[in-house]
């Protein structure tokens, strides 16, 4: 039996990621712009000024409807009106997930039942008001550290929730960019929870939208969130992955494998093949696609085979201008980054972590399926493979 997971082109494991993905409503973009509730919002104080509790209480409040990755919640690319309070709810779920065709299993620790957790999208100077819920059925205590936030432990010290508890954290999204969030309960539990799937990302857009270095506005037609996850599954004396009955039972075994720094799996969106087959990402020639990529624990290097990063925010900071025309971009462990590409040719594109061992042998591969007209000017098969001419 082959022990190493490979690329699967026909299977989908979306059901292992989230049973209730509201994917249809996930795509983009400008819907809220026409919402009269926003148009009628009172003129807000200057965006960057600190606000009193009374002023914050007077701000418009919006509830973000979370959607499972690879989709993003509905959002405006350019903000209407001043800062808002964006209400976000994350329900912790400890659940068994199957990771590959070999039947490797993990008791994943998740935000909202998916690995990665759902992407949050706000604008600079908005307030994120998070309700973190740990149901009574959980085995463990959890919390959340937002790299986008400012304050001790990214809110981690203020959000420890035992089973049966919930907490509410508010932070102001002062830095524009894409950022990781993750569970960080303390000590060895920090890598254990992060390497069991407990991480996600938030995008904080500039209020006036994304821009190139010369100030030209950059807009996208579609957006996808690719969350890369390294897992460290232990094997028994027969070289088989060990199966466990409950969440947390693998703690000691996991720590031993994590200490080797050698993941058993490196995957996109929770499992080998999650973004292949039925999970393939869709686009059309001429569309600009935003690809947000996070890795909460380990360095990675996304590459779109056959395409490029037209605009790349490798560090994730929208304060800095994007790099342009990249072949591969680096995303540091503990960070998110993003790229925009306008597809110019139809076909199947592989989107990989271009450590190709991790892509092909460990699982870090996705597919884009792009429809449209082929452009012979850009590429043409001049002669099919055939016998060498004498």
Of 109 and 338, which has the nearer Cβ to Cu ion?
109
Decide if 285 contacts 373 (C-beta within 8 A): yes
Q: How far is the CB of 227 from Cu ion (least distance, A)?
A: 16
Q: How far is the CB of 193 from Cu ion (least distance, A)?
A: 4
Taking the complex as a whole, the smallest distance from the CB of residue 140 to Cu ion amounts, in Å, to: 6
Instruction: Please tell me whether residue 182 binds Cu ion under the rule CB under 5 A.
Output: no
x/- map, 110-149, Cu ion, by CB under 5 A: --------------------------------x-------
What is the contact mask toward Cu ion in residues 69 to 98, using x (rule: CB under 5 A)?
Answer: ------------------------------
Active site residue 195: no
List 97, 119, 140, 183, catalytic entry: 183
Q: 327 catalytic, yes or no?
A: yes
Q: Could you tell me which residues come within 8 angstroms of residue 130 by beta carbon, excluding any fewer than 6 positions away?
A: 88, 89, 90, 144, 146, 155, 159, 168, 169, 170, 171
Q: Which is closer to Cu ion, CB of 142 or CB of 367?
A: 142
Which of 31, 208, 327, 369 is labelled catalytic? 327
Residue 303 annotated in active site: yes
The active-site residue, picked from 66, 80, 159, 193, is 193
Q: Exposure pattern of 356-388 as b/e (b: 16+ CB <10 Å)?
A: eebbbebbbbbbbebeeeeeeeeeeeeeeeeee
Residues 6+ apart with CB under 8 A from 385: none
Least separation, in Å, of the C-beta of 143 and Cu ion? 7
Does position 183 interact with Cu ion (CB under 5 A)? The reply is yes
Q: Looking at 106, 132, 194, 198, which residue binds Cu ion (CB under 5 A)?
A: 198
What's the distance, Cα to Cα, between the start and end of the chain in Å?
Answer: 44
- Check 66, 198, 258, 338 and give the catalytic one: 198
Which is nearest to 23 in space by CA: 76, 62, 65, 86? 65
Round to whole Å and give the CA distance between 192 and 131: 23
- Minimum gap (Å) between residue 49 Cβ and Cu ion: 35
Which two tokens mark 304?
A: 């779109």
Annotation marks residue 308 as catalytic: no
14 binds Cu ion (CB under 5 A): no
Write b or e for each residue in 271-282: b if 16 or more Cβ atoms lie within 10 A of its Cβ, otherwise e: bbbbbbeebebe
Selected range binding Cu ion among 47-55, 82-90, 107-115, 267-275, rule: CB under 5 A = 107-115
Note whether 362 and 5 are within 8 A (CB). yes
For Cu ion (CB under 5 A), the number of binding residues is 5
Q: Smallest Cα–Cα separation from 278: which of 269, 289, 291, 288? A: 269
Q: Is 196 a catalytic residue?
A: no
Stretch that binds Cu ion, among 28-36, 188-196, 280-288, 380-388 (CB under 5 A): 188-196
Contact 287, 218 (CB under 8 A): no
DSSP 3-state of 86 = strand
DSSP string, 325-340: EESB--B-TTEEEEEE
Asked if 142 is an active-site residue, the reply is yes
Six token digits for residue 123: 């604008």
Active-site residue among 66, 80, 100, 147?
A: 147
> Min. distance of Cβ 229 from Cu ion in angstroms?
14
Q: Which of 13, 193, 303, 308 binds Cu ion (CB under 5 A)?
A: 193
Place of tokens 């976000």: 88
List residues binding Cu ion (CB under 5 A). Answer: 109, 142, 183, 193, 198
Positions annotated as catalytic residues are 142, 145, 147, 182-183, 193, 198, 303, 327-328, 354
């Amino acid at each position: 039996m082959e022990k190493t997971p490979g690329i699967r082109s026909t299977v989908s494991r979306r059901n292992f990621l989230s049973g209730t993905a509201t994917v249809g409503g996930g795509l983009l973009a400008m819907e809220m712009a026409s919402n009269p509730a926003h148009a009628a919002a009172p003129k807000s104080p200057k965006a960057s000024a600190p606000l009193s509790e009374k002023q914050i209480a007077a701000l418009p409040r919006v509830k973000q409807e979370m959607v499972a990755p690879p989709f993003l919640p509905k959002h405006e690319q350019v903000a209407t009106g001043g800062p808002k309070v964006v209400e976000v709810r994350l329900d912790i779920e400890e659940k068994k997930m199957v990771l590959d065709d070999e039947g490797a299993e993990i008791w994943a620790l998740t935000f909202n039942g998916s690995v990665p957790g759902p992407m949050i999208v706000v604008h600079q100077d908005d307030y994120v008001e998070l309700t973190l819920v740990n149901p009574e059925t959980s085995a463990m205590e959890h919390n959340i550290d937002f790299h986008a936030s400012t304050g001790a432990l990214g809110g981690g010290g203020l959000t420890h929730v035992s089973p049966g508890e919930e907490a509410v954290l508010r932070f102001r999204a002062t830095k524009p960019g894409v950022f990781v969030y993750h569970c960080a309960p303390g000590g060895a539990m920090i890598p254990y929870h992060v390497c069991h799937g407990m991480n996600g990302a938030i995008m904080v857009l500039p209020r006036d939208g994304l821009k190139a270095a010369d100030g030209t506005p950059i807009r996208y037609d579609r957006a996808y969130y690719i969350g890369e996850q390294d897992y460290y599954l232990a094997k028994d004396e027969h070289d088989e992955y060990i199966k466990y009955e409950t969440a947390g039972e693998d703690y000691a075994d996991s720590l031993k494998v994590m200490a080797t720094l050698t993941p058993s799996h490196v995957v996109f969106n929770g499992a080998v093949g999650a973004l292949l087959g039925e999970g393939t990402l869709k686009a059309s020639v001429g569309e600009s696609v935003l690809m947000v990529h996070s890795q909460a624990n380990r360095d990675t290097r996304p590459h779109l085979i056959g395409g490029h990063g037209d605009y790349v925010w490798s560090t994730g900071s929208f304060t800095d201008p994007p790099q342009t025309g990249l072949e591969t971009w680096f995303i540091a462990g503990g960070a998110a980054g993003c790229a925009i590409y306008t597809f110019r040719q139809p076909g199947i594109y592989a989107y990989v972590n271009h450590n190709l061992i991790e892509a092909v042998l460990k699982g870090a591969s996705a597919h884009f399926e792009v429809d449209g007209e082929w452009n012979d000017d850009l590429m043409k098969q001049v002669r099919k493979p055939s016998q060498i001419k004498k």
